Chains A and B, each alone.
Chain A
Amino acid sequence: MNSFPAKFEPGHADVSLSVAEAMPIDDFLERSRAIVDTIATVIDGKWSAIDIALTVLLAEGHLLIEDVPGVGKTMLARALARSVDCSVSRIQFTPDLLPADITGVSVFNQSEREFEFKPGPVFANIVIGDEINRASPKTQSALLESMEEHQVTVDGKTYVLASPFTVVATQNPIEMEGTYALPEAQRDRFMARISMGYPDPESEMAMLRTRATSSPLDAIKPVVGTAELASMIQTARIVFASPAVEQYAVDISQATRRDSELRLGASPRATLQLVRAAKARAALDGRDFVLPDDINALAIPVLGHRLIPSGRVGVTVGGYSGETIAEIVSRIVAETPVPLGARARR
């Protein structure tokens, strides 16, 4: 299961990832459906959350699941990880967690008489970071750095992370006690943020029944191998995004930067990830090209957590509550014309 060598040698990050072959779209759809079905045995009635989680996985992004405790954040993360036959590690973030607890440490080997690098939990294909906002910023940043650069530097030596590499982090809403809110720069590293939301009554009833005897998580068998996942990722990467679609993504990002309700708009990285996620979504829909609808559907999960409202939003003052971030993004999307035609505007 662990595809890493026992002994870690420093190396350079291979940005172009492994050169996996793209798979036929039918195979892609079959496997992705298998993953969704597997997760669905654990998470009841949360199709949109599952879809976005899978989209992020296939787009090689990182996922932030934000919600109140006990709605299945960790369950989703673990189910996602277990459905793929790859290395998985889990970090429970606490206020006393140190950066080395994540990245790994150099230990002096008595027999070899040299320092040996003991890789931390970040060296896995899927890293589950539980309650990421409970750790100190210093520790958070250790993880987030590796997320962006796909590498870890310890004692002046750089170690390349696994590929594919996806962090699925959960966090409680910032209003909860004993949390350190993630800085904007670090939130920006996540491709998408989703919240689980409470299950509907039927799903909750079903959950009671299935959990009565054993944890359904244990029953999960991996349905996709690492190589297959890499191939699926490659399939999603080569989905075609037309100039018109790119134009649409850029128009939306630009609009967030101009909006008066927003203090901070979407970064260029956000635009990039929006299109990347849209490609994965298109592939999951069985298409080899992106539609504006993909951009449209992903605008809130991909952009929402990166935007900072200019003030009133979310704060209830005298009964007035401004637009929530989701409302602002919806509005911006609803105001942005959809470009048509093979040629984009110049």
Chain B
Amino acid sequence: MTLTTPAQRQAAGTMDFRMSGLLLLGLAVATASLHTLLGDVGWWLGAFGMMLIVFGTAAAARYFFRQRWLGTVAAAVVGTLAITLFFAADTAFLGIIPTATTFAQFRTLMDAASSSVAVQSIPADATPGIQFLVCWLIALIAVALDGVAIWWRSPAWTGPLLLIVVVVPSIVSPDLSDAFFFELTAVIYLFIIRDRLRRVQPGVAVVVGAIAVLGALVVPLALPPVTPAKANGTGTGLIAENINPIINLGDDLRRATPTLALTYSTTSDTGLYLRLTTLEHFEGKQWAPVESPPIPGNNVSAVGAAPGLTNGVETAQVSTTIQVANTTGRWLPVPYPETKVEGLKGSWFWEPEALAIRSQDSNMQGQKYSVSSLDVQPTDKQMENAPRSPNSPLAVVPKGLDPIVAKTAKTVVGSAKTDFDKAVALQNWFRGGTFTYSEHTPALSGFDGSGLDVIVPFLKSKSGYCVHFATTMAVMARTLGIPSRVAVGFLPGKATHPKGADVTVYKVTSNDLHAWPELYFEGVGWVRFEPTPSRGFEPDFPSAPSAPSTSGPTDPSSPGATSAPTTTPRTAPRLPDETTTTSEAALTNTTTIPATGWAGLIALAILLMLGVPALLRLVMRRRRLESVREGDDSATRVWEELRESARDLGIDARVSSTPRQLAEYLAEYLAAGPTPSTAALAALDELRTTVEDESYAYPAYTFVGEAMASNLQIVLRGLRRATPLPLRLRAVLLPPTLVDRALGRSVVRA
């Protein structure tokens, strides 16, 4: 389509504005349909800001340069700069020009987003990665929408693009599609293609419209249901039937609403760590539990002795009654080391090494049972003096482990001599404040697992959850020669109320799912450690000042090493240089943006939105004045501007008024103002005369543009002064002529 006359060009121009507005509206509504996937509204406001920037840039570029293609290209460029500014300003040249580092950061954010998407339950938190992903995709789609609808003049093709956005929730799960936003988007789409439809036969238009609306209704239903990536809160239980309970632990911990796992009442003074099983085999990818076949003889009514525990260690009897709620699984949560379990339904047996209680045919869900267990209370002396068990298979360092781990372990334990001191040093290092507990960092940074490859990233980021602390400490212990394994189970939970004299009732939820390392000490057996900061409690080893009642050997050669774990926390040494890498820096940066940047961005977007009409009107006036000065149909332009400015101020200025009539009317208006300006009246008269001469008298070929422009400005100033403040404010912030123009109405009444 070629535009020949100015009128046509102008009509096309206003069409573009309306189209940009419709596209903005359509994409904003389509994006809002993602609310079923992402919690909160901050992400939407961010995306909306991005849309404003893209469509605004496109419209402005088109308005100024009168080139359709230029709008789309400018939008793409400014969109890129904006994303750079918001997400990777510090890596960019001058804050907005992307560099190679910027793209690296984008990749990091993208990876973070994909892992975050993979691990989060729905509705997900809009992490910086997800915000980046949303903004980036929305900007991309906005540019594409602008391109097809305005550059290529094929508004119909906006349909598939908008569809991409609105079907996302349906793809994740059919339950998540929001029909309201879907249909609203379809309606806006009809408006977008309306001009096209008008040109074709009315019948065809009706058919296309009907298909669009029907499609909007049917498509969400017809889409193939894809099984949700995550189990949702109430339906399925925790842990599920997985062979390896550690795999889903991160997901279970990240549940938006914790579910009740079990309750127990116990005679113990403190809460009990309830253990499901232990993971001993470390093959690089995962820690795996011991898989022993059912042992018929191992009846749970008499569980075998705890491995390695000798009579010299003091023990106390503990009775616990456990009621399992909404948790399924083949392993039974019990305090270690249990001696007897009663009241179970189905056949259960105990595994000799881990003392885990397992069933082939039954499930723990809903079971109520009582457990007798021992509270093993070794003294610190006994721990100190425990000899190292030679050639333990559980002290084998896995192949392919980064030597940095062993090196770090060595640095951490420093001068500690005994295995116990070393273990305590490791534990204190983790709990000492250098590390933070986070269920999200590993997911974002892509080490959400228990494999060999998560250890180094975890040590670098110093942030993770129990699995990372437990596995890392276990592996580090092995590098120091201490046999180790990882126990999986529940934290003691929360004491709710006492029941009877010595019995306390505890409540355990999915948030209490936990993993911790167990280290083997000859004579004492498997001892629990707690490296995870802010979770659980450290094992207590009473010192033995009086003569020990046990027969455990004492080591007089190391009296200085009797430090209790809590009293001498050793300062955590920093890891060698690798810790401060760009990726770490990048992660810190992106996590600080949401705190301050998003609020600022939203405020900026709102300000921008408020300022857009004023800016557009100002630009329009500037351009008109410019062409008046240049003598390009000055009379028409100057009078148009006067008329529209008057109309913006709420003055009834009509196109059917002759210059003389309007001038008379405006003169009355000026005279009625609080401080009538004679200068404005004179300027108005002069302006009217020049406009009449220019328009209706013999062509004079005198140059009056400059005078017209300055007279116009004097008149406008006078008119503004004569107008009450509210009307003046409206004229600036929401000029009626601009609104009319945007709505495609005639700007000034006849």
Contact = CB atoms under 8 A, between A and B. Distances in A.
Interface residues of A, number: 24
Interface residues of B, number: 24
A169 interface: no
A337 interface: yes
A290 to B, nearest CB: 6
Interface string B292-317: 00000000000000000000000000
B695 A342 contact: yes
B636 A334 contact: no
Nearest to A341: B636
A335 B654 CA distance: 9
Interface in B62-95: none
Contacts of B658: 291-293, 296, 338
Contacts of B655: 337-338
A338 B659 CA distance: 8
B656 interface: yes
B656 A333 contact: yes
Among B636, B655, B658, B659, the most chain A Cβ lie within 10 Å of the Cβ of B658
A245 interface: yes
Interface in A154-204: none
B698 A341 contact: no
B697 interface: yes
A28 interface: no
A340 B697 contact: no
A289 interface: yes
Contact of B661 (A290, A293, A340, A342): A293
Nearest to A240: B698
B349 interface: no
B665 to A, nearest CB: 13
Contacts of A338: 655-659
A240 B692 CA distance: 13
Contact of B699 (A334, A335, A342): A342
A341 B661 contact: no
Interface string A241-265: 0101100000000000000000000
Nearest to A339: B695
Given A240-B698, A289-B697, A291-B658, A342 B692 contact: no
A336 B694 contact: no
A296 B656 CA distance: 10
Nearest to B654: A334
A338 B656 CA distance: 5
A340 B695 contact: yes
B697 A240 contact: yes
B635 interface: yes
B595 interface: no
B698 A293 contact: no
Contacts of A333: 656
A80 B127 CA distance: 92
Contact of B636 (A245, A336, A340, A346): A340
A333 B658 CA distance: 11
B678 to A, nearest CB: 24
Interface in B652-672: 654-661
Contacts of A290: 696
A245 B636 CA distance: 13
Interface string B625-639: 000000001011001
B691 interface: yes
Interface string A268-310: 0000000000000000000011111100100000000000000
Contacts of B697: 240, 242, 288-289
A343 interface: yes
Nearest to A336: B656
B661 to A, nearest CB: 7
Contact of B696 (A244, A296, A337): A244
B656 A334 contact: yes
B657 A291 contact: no
Interface in B1-36: 5, 7
A126 to B, nearest CB: 31
A289 B698 CA distance: 7
B501 interface: no
B696 A335 contact: no
A58 to B, nearest CB: 19
B547 interface: no
A101 B638 CA distance: 59
Nearest to B640: A340
B750 interface: yes
B290 to A, nearest CB: 91
A309 to B, nearest CB: 22
Contact of B633 (A288, A335, A337, A341): A341
A334 B658 CA distance: 10
Nearest to B661: A293
A339 B658 CA distance: 9
Interface string B678-698: 000000000000011011111
A346 B7 CA distance: 10
Contacts of B636: 340-341
Nearest to A295: B658
Contacts of B639: 340
A72 B660 CA distance: 33
A244 B750 contact: no
Nearest to B662: A338
Contacts of A296: 658, 661
Nearest to A242: B696
A291 B660 contact: yes
A337 to B, nearest CB: 4
Nearest to A245: B696
Contacts of A341: 633, 635-636, 694-695
Nearest to B692: A291
A48 B120 CA distance: 86
Contacts of A339: 695
Nearest to B660: A293
Contacts of B750: 334-337
Among A245, A293, A296, A338, the most chain B Cβ lie within 10 Å of the Cβ of A338
Contacts of B656: 333-338
A93 B117 CA distance: 100
Nearest to A344: B695
B712 to A, nearest CB: 14
Nearest to B691: A340
Contacts of B640: 340
Contacts of A292: 658-660, 696
Interface string A111-139: 00000000000000000000000000000
Nearest to B696: A242
Nearest to A346: B5
Given A291-B692, A334-B750, A335-B750, A340 B659 contact: yes
A339 to B, nearest CB: 8
Among B654, B695, B698, the most chain A Cβ lie within 10 Å of the Cβ of B695
A26 B695 CA distance: 24
B696 A291 contact: yes
A44 B635 CA distance: 41
Interface in A90-108: none
A244 B661 contact: no
Nearest to B5: A346
A335 B750 CA distance: 5
A245 B697 CA distance: 10
25 contacts: A240-B697, A242-B695, A242-B697, A244-B696, A289-B698, A292-B660, A292-B696, A293-B658, A293-B660, A333-B656, A335-B750, A337-B655, A337-B656, A337-B750, A338-B658, A338-B659, A340-B636, A340-B639, A340-B659, A340-B691, A340-B695, A341-B635, A342-B633, A342-B694, A343-B633
Interface of B: 5, 7, 633, 635-636, 639-640, 654-661, 691-692, 694-699, 750
Given A288-B697, A288-B698, 10 more contacts: A289-B696, A291-B658, A291-B659, A292-B658, A296-B658, A334-B656, A338-B658, A340-B695, A341-B635, A341-B695
List the 5 closest pairs (A to B, CB-CB), nearest first. Answer: A341-B636, A337-B655, A292-B658, A289-B697, A340-B636
